[in-house]
Amino acid sequence: METYKRLLLNNKAWVEDKLNLRPDFFTKSSGVQKPEFLWIGCSDSRVPAEEVTGVEPGELFVHRNIANVVVHTDFNMLSVVQYAVEVLKVRHIIVCGHYGCGGIKAAMGRQHLGLINKWLRHIKDVYRFHKTELEAIPDEAKRYERLIELNVDEQVHHLAELSFVQRAWKNEQRPMLHGWIYDIHTGHLKQMTKIDPGQLPNEIYAYEFPD
């Protein structure tokens, strides 16, 4: 059997399972979506957002890219965040990194990888901002873990720097911003960073809005 056919067969079994549990499963979830959370995670196949958080379809709005980066010129990510904040009115945005992230590993190295260098360059910037702290860690594995953590923290700060996040803070006191790490060795999620609505970490990035 071609490997891809397993996915289609799995889908049939999944539909049956869901309907056995709740006959209205699809009719109920096919209405308007009202997720409370936006998840920005890594594309890594070992970090399935809905599965590790135990949520049902309809609960999580999801954006994933290599190394869960929030890049200010990325219209894809910006569109997702703006829609989540202004239309879906999510209450929480979670940036989730993970130990063992290949994107972070590659950004720590010097191998030329073509186009992806341009993407990973944003992580090299995070390294540069925290070079003193990182290079004081003698153990390479520990330094790698720390950069994974610092990257999540940096990306959460980038969310706080977005004008439409700040406007929602001012007008509706949401969303709360979170930085989490998923440990692929244990399956556990760990909270790293939390920014309450209105708590902009650096005023350089503050915008003013007319009342």
> What is the binding site for Co ion (CB under 5 A)?
42, 44, 101, 103
101 is a catalytic site residue: yes
Measured from the CB atom, the residue of 95 and 165 that comes closer to Co ion is 95
Choice between 154 and 175, CB closer to Co ion:
154
Q: Is 98 a catalytic residue?
A: yes
Q: Active-site residue among 98, 122, 174, 178?
A: 98
Coil/strand/helix, residue 180: strand
Q: Quick one: 25 or 99, whose CB is closer to Co ion? A: 99
Tell me the H-state helices in the chain.
3-21, 25-29, 49-53, 75-82, 102-108, 116-129, 131-135, 140-160, 163-172
Of these residues, 6, 17, 22, 46, which one is catalytic?
Answer: 46
Whether 42 is catalytic is yes
Question: In sequence order, which residues have a C-beta less than 8 Å from that of residue 101 and are 6 or more positions away?
Answer: 42, 44, 67, 148
Q: How far is the CB of 101 from Co ion (least distance, A)?
A: 3
Give CA–CA dist 176/192, Å, rounded. Answer: 13
Residue number, 84 or 101, with CB nearest to Co ion: 101
Give residue for tokens 């929480």: 92
**Alpha carbon 190 to its chain's center:** 14
CB of 72 to Co ion, least distance (A): 20
Minimum CB distance to Co ion smaller for 66 or for 160? 66
- Residue 160: CB partners within 8 Å, gap ≥ 6? 166, 177, 195, 199, 200, 201, 205
Q: How far are the Cα atoms of 41, 105, 208 from residue 49, in angstroms, in the given order? A: 7, 21, 34
CB of residue 45 vs Co ion: minimum separation in angstroms?
10
Residue 55 and residue 42: Cα distance in Å, rounded?
A: 18
User: At closest approach, how far in Å is the CB of 186 from Co ion?
Assistant: 16
Q: Shortest approach of Co ion to residue 197 CB, angstroms?
A: 28
Q: Choose the catalytic residue: 63, 101, 122, 153.
A: 101
**Has 46 been annotated as catalytic?**
yes
Q: Which residues are catalytic?
A: 42, 44, 46, 98, 101
